[in-house]
Structure 1
Amino acid sequence: MTVYIFRRFVNYAILSLIATCMAYVLASVVLDPAARFYGMNPRPPQSSIDASLDAMGVNPAVPVLVRLWHWLVDLFTQFSLGTTVGGAQVTAEIAARSGASLRLLLIGSIIGAILGVLLGVWGAVRQYRLSDQIVTYASYVVFATPTFVIGVLLMILATQLNNLAGVQLINFTGEYTAGISGSWWDLAVDRAVHLLLPTIALVLISAASFSRYQRSVMLDVLGADYIRTARAKGLPRTKALFRHGVRLALIPMSTFFAYSFGTLIAGSAMLEIVFSWRGMGQFQIEAIVKNDINAVAGTALFVAVLYLISSTLSEVLYAALDPRVRS
């Protein structure tokens, strides 16, 4: 199994590098880092503009493949992703913002995946009953609702709750309360309160997706021959479902979890804007608006690494669930 996991990890690493290079080339072709200089009054001399672009390594006068090569050399030799249009190191910005995004993504995705799997199994076992219909319609409503709308609705509900309570029970602007002081426990509680609403939004989004997929897979498993054989041998229905059915139904879910991470990252970007989080999603959108090639490439690398980690973990889970992979 170790050889299998290592081989898959190497494959995902190569794909991540290719995706990052393509993102850099696409950003270099589409974005115009010199545009911000052209809007200045008075406009800087062209020599000053070229010097600034050369310092960032994004001068359009240099062929894009040459710029990509220098960017990769700096990445692998100096662990540098270049500088932003504001003069900050991209690696420093990613290090400062990634914690906020990872807290939101990991907690929301894991809770949402577990809840979605449970709802999917429950819906398959109780197919077409009232509980299954409620989960189905609720999932479709979440699917049809844009991410930022879910965030705004949660903010409205939290505001109403705060008004009813007469105190600020739920804070939802930013990662923490500005100027807060106290013990580490007070700071941790404050961050947890600010994390509550965006996490709930991500849980709803991921749970709706996982529940539909898990229900479909579980329905196929319930009609399988080995389930009927287990029941014919006297195994109780519940044990037959959880010992044989759920375990095999989770195998395709491990792959689905890895590739649904991209949707969660896109959803978290909108949530970060709605809830004023300085995370990677907000950083990526700001980079595109500012025509910041290095920042766009850095965020693409960040997303690719997340895919690399999640895909590798899904392969580990796949191997743990399917004995054929371990042989």
Structure 2
Amino acid sequence: MSATVRYLLRSAAGHAALLLVVSSCGYLLAACALDPRGNYEERSPSPPAEVVDAALAERNLDGRPLGARYLTWVSGVVSGDLGATWDGRSVNEEMAQRVGATLRLVAPGALLGSVAGVLLGAWAGTRGPGWGRRLCVAGAIVVISTPVVVIAVSLQVGAIWLNNSTGMDLLRTTGESTPGGAPGVAGALADRARHLLLPTLALALPQAAMLSLYQRAFIAEAASADFVRTARAKGVPRRTAVRVHALRTSLLPAVDLAGYSAAGLFAGAAFVERVFGWHGVGDLLIDAVGSGDVNTVAAVCAFAALCVVAAAVFADITRVVLDPRVRAE
């Protein structure tokens, strides 16, 4: 078995353990903190207590010991059953309706934010002191310091102002597509792109700002390495030496960081979906927490953990491609 395969298998085993731990913690915290019984008590008239107890017991939301409810939940998840909502709907069906919308939002946001952040950080790291570099750092700090919900609302307000100023419907600020759709395949794709642009930017901007600062720091660290100093001693200009010799080395930690920072995108996606009217997993999570829906909250946590693990696996594969030392171990 090659060193590359052994490395990927070790990483996969660690990611599988991480997925189990995070999913279990999500269920246990939801089961301890949320109270689905309150949904029945708010009805007028309230159902009899025995009816409520029977409904909660059927959905694994009753007052049995936490360990027993957890084992029931785990056995269902292993068999592909995520349980039922507090009012008896299938969590599997709810997730199936929402997962696609979230992936269509988070995937381009993660890709755009990661690529833009690495490129911007590489540009700032290979330049000497100057106004461009200072503005890049200052802008990144401002974006990182701004909550994602503020960024989303600001983009939405700016798009509305632009549409009103130009008298044209350039950008869409709510929903994933226009009701009724646009004629033709090209029209439908263009319509979805207009709806996707603003929420994608709302997710990508904080990601790009964070990665640009880290990438700049990684390049600065790599630029002080012996091989860069040797290249400069041979007469190679600093910018060329950094770009040719230090950039590839500095990409390795940036790739790892981009993979694991996907968790932050899912946290921001919940607010972005709410602001822009996307009915995705984040929007479902907010509603589930408000209604004390333990099984739905646990399913969303497990889905987010699965996506983070998938991003980490992609980062591992990218590391193998970029770092020949992994292949040689």
Pair in the same fold by TM > 0.5? yes
Aligned-pair distance for 1:3? 1.6
TM-aligned CA deviation for residue 266 of structure 1? 0.8
How far is 1:255 from its partner?
1.5
In the alignment, does 2:21 pair up with 1:18? yes
Which residue number in structure 1 is paired with residue 293 of structure 2?
292
Q: Does 1:31 align with 2:39?
A: no
The question of whether the paired residues in 1 share the 8 Å contact of 2:182 and 2:191 is answered with no
Once structures 1 and 2 are overlaid, which stretch shifts more, 314-323 or 21-30?
A: 314-323
RMSD, aligned α-carbons: 1.5
Does the 8 Å contact 2:59/2:83 carry over to 1?
Answer: yes
TM-score (norm 2): 0.94
Aligned partner of residue 254 in structure 2, secondary structure: helix
Structure 1 equivalent of residue 60 of structure 2:
57
Unaligned stretches of 5+ residues in structure 1: none
The 10-residue stretch of structure 1 (311-320 or 293-302) with the greater mean CA deviation from structure 2: 311-320
Question: How many Å separate the matches in 2 of 1:262 and 1:67?
Answer: 27
After TM superposition, give the deviation of residue 279 of structure 1 in Å: 0.9
**1:159 alignment counterpart:** 160
Match of 1:269 in 2: 270
1:274 positional shift: 0.6
Deviation of residue 220 (structure 1)?
0.8
Query: Does structure 1 retain, via aligned residues, the 8 Å contact 2:281–2:300?
Result: yes
Structure 1 position 305, deviation (Å): 0.4
Summarize deviations over 1:50-69 as a string: whole Å, max 9, x none.
11112211112x11111111
Q: Distance in 2 between matches of 1:65 and 1:187?
A: 49
1:180-219 to structure 2, matched below 5 A, reads 180-219=181-220
Alignment correspondent of 1:75: 77
Displacement after TM superposition at 1:234 (Å): 5.2
For residue 43 of structure 1, give the secondary structure of its aligned residue in structure 2: coil
TM-score normalized with structure 1 length: 0.95
Q: What fraction of aligned residue pairs are identical, expressed as a percent?
A: 37
Structure 2 distance, partners of 1:81, 1:217, is 42
Q: Partners in 1 of 2:124 and 2:225 — Cα distance?
A: 17
> Which secondary structure state, in structure 2, belongs to the residue aligned with residue 59 of structure 1?
coil
Q: What is the one-letter code of the residue matched to 2:304?
A: V
By how many angstroms is 1:81 displaced? Answer: 0.1
Structure 2 unaligned regions, length at least 5: none
The match for 2:9 is 6
Letter in 2 for 1:54: A
Q: Partner amino acid for 1:297?
A: A
Task: Look up the match of 1:66.
Answer: 68
**Contact 1:172–1:195 (8 Å) recurs in 2:** no
8 A Cα contact 1:272 1:278, kept in partner:
yes
1:85 maps to amino acid: W
1:31-180 to 2 correspondences below 5 Å: 31-60=34-63, 62-77=64-79, 79-180=80-181
Q: Is the 8 A contact 2:125 2:219 kept in 1?
A: yes
Matches of 1:256 and 1:84, distance apart in 2: 35
Q: CA deviation at 1:181?
A: 4.9
1:310 Cα offset (Å): 0.8
